[in-house]
Amino acid sequence: MIVVMKSGATEEQIKEVENKLHELGFRTQVIHGTDKRVIGAIGDKRHLNLRFIELLPGVERAIPILRPFKLASREARPENTIVNIDGVTIGGPEITVIAGPCAVESREQLLETARAIKSMGCKILRGGAFKPRTSPYSFQGLEEEGLRLLAEAKEDTGLKIVTEVLDAQDVELVSSYTDIMQVGARNMQNFKLLKALGRLGKPVVLKRGLSATVEEWLMAAEYIMVEGNPNVILCERGIRTFEPYTRNTLDLSAVALVKQLSHLPVIVDPSHGTGRRDLVSPMAKAAVVAGADGLLIEAHIRPDEALSDGAQSLDMEGLARVLSELEDVARVAGRTFTGTGALNRRVPSS
């Protein structure tokens, strides 16, 4: 930590700050600038909250030098983490596509969707059973019945499944049905939930909070990892800005940045990220080129009947169109994807 003293700080004030730092276990070294004194505090005390140093008389501000995340940092682990879900990987050379409806609505809807997305090269089925909704008057999800339908779709298609868990209390229940636990944007700093998922050990898709900095997002991952679970998949899903034409502002530069700061895999949700069906295709492809390891795409067999977020859902034809271009896009990004496009081309022309 670097402590910057005010211009007129006295020798006594500098001494007092040094004494306080020594008490806390730091060594100190003073730099005499032209205008100000700066105290270097030497020692790794990332677990201390040091903002109160700024209260000591004569102190202007305290600047941390060490980044607060450790386990999630690339310094801790230079090579990429590859999360393995019974053979399906996220973070390896292949682009992994997760697709499905915002909410599980019925058996027929889910099975039909699952079979369709499977045939297009998707490996994982998404679907919300517990839905976090801004309004208490909106459809809140089928709850355990939704989980059962997801498990049935898995059984039927062999797809892995991912679904959101809203609360530490539900971790056991949700976990008994799903392969991957999803933490929604509103819960990114629900620390009880993060800890519970850390203890659980199952892979976690951790969505970025609406206005979370990249550092806070990585610290949320750190909460899960410090409990012993290294299988964290970060998911960029749009941040809140001043722009009213889109629901959120999908932040692809965060993807490129996180790939540098951390070894964890990052996927992108262009559906929530924009809230507009017509932007899903360009942003999905751009995400892969920016470095994303996978995509989370909302797709519904009949979007205009969706009980939740229909406006951003692709129909099956729309999804097929996106995926048919993904093989080429993945290759440009030095990755692979084997979906519809590839299948089509293998069809004999005779």
**Which residues, 302 to 321, sit near a second copy by CB under 8 A?**
303-312
Report the Cα 310 to chain-centroid distance in Å.
Answer: 22
Strand order in the sheet with 59-63: 27-32, 37-42, 2-5, 59-63
Closest distance to a second copy from the beta carbon of 248 (Å): 8
Please identify, using beta-carbon distances, which residue of 152 and 167 lies nearer to a second copy. 167
What mask, x for binding a second copy by CB under 8 A, covers residues 54 to 73? xxx------x-xx-x-----
Q: Within the chain, how many helices (H) and strands (E) appear?
A: 11, 14
Q: How far is the CB of 342 from a second copy (least distance, A)?
A: 15
* Residue 101 near residue 300 (C-beta atoms within 8 A): yes
Closest distance of CB 284 from a second copy, Å? 9
Binding positions for a second copy, 255-284, rule CB under 8 A = 255-257, 259-261, 273-274, 276-279, 282-283
148 is an interface residue for a second copy by CB under 8 A? no
Contact segment (CB under 8 A) with a second copy among 108-116, 121-129, 151-159, 185-193 equals 185-193
The torsion angle over the Cα atoms of residues 256, 1, 25 and 58, rounded to 10 degrees, is: -150
Of 129 and 261, CB closest to a second copy: 261
List binders of a second copy among 89-128 (CB under 8 A). none
Of 180 and 218, which has the nearer Cβ to a second copy? 218
Site for a second copy in 162-181 (CB under 8 A): 166-170
Cα angle 165-167-171, degrees, rounded to a multiple of 5 = 60
Per CB under 8 A, which of residues 34..53 are in contact with a second copy?
34-36, 38, 40, 42-44, 46-49, 51-52
From 81-89, 110-118, 134-142, 148-156, give the range in contact with a second copy by CB under 8 A. 134-142
Residue 152 beta carbon to a second copy: minimum distance, rounded to whole angstroms: 25
Which CA distances in Å does 159 have to 11, 76, 115, 125?
68, 33, 9, 6
User: Residue 195: enclosing H or E segment and its boundaries?
Assistant: helix 191-200
Total Cβ atoms within 10 A of residue 186: 13
Query: Tokens standing for 205?
Result: 């898709």
DSSP-derived secondary structure for 126-167:
E-BSS---SSTTS----THHHHHHHHHHHHHH--EEEEE--S
| Selected binder of a second copy within 10, 22, 172, 191 (CB under 8 A) | 191
Q: Kindly state the smallest distance separating residue 349's Cβ from a second copy, in Å.
A: 23
Closest to a second copy by CB, 31 or 84? 31
Q: What is the x/- site pattern for a second copy, positions 225-254, by CB under 8 A?
A: -x------------xxxxxxxx--xxxxxx
CB 203 within 8 A of CB 83: yes
Measured from the CB atom, the residue of 42 and 176 that comes closer to a second copy is: 42
Task: Give the other-Cβ count within 10 Å of 11's Cβ.
Answer: 9
Task: Give the number of C-alpha atoms closer than 13 A to the C-alpha of residue 134, restricted to the C-beta side.
Answer: 3
Q: Is 22 in the site for a second copy (CB under 8 A)?
A: no
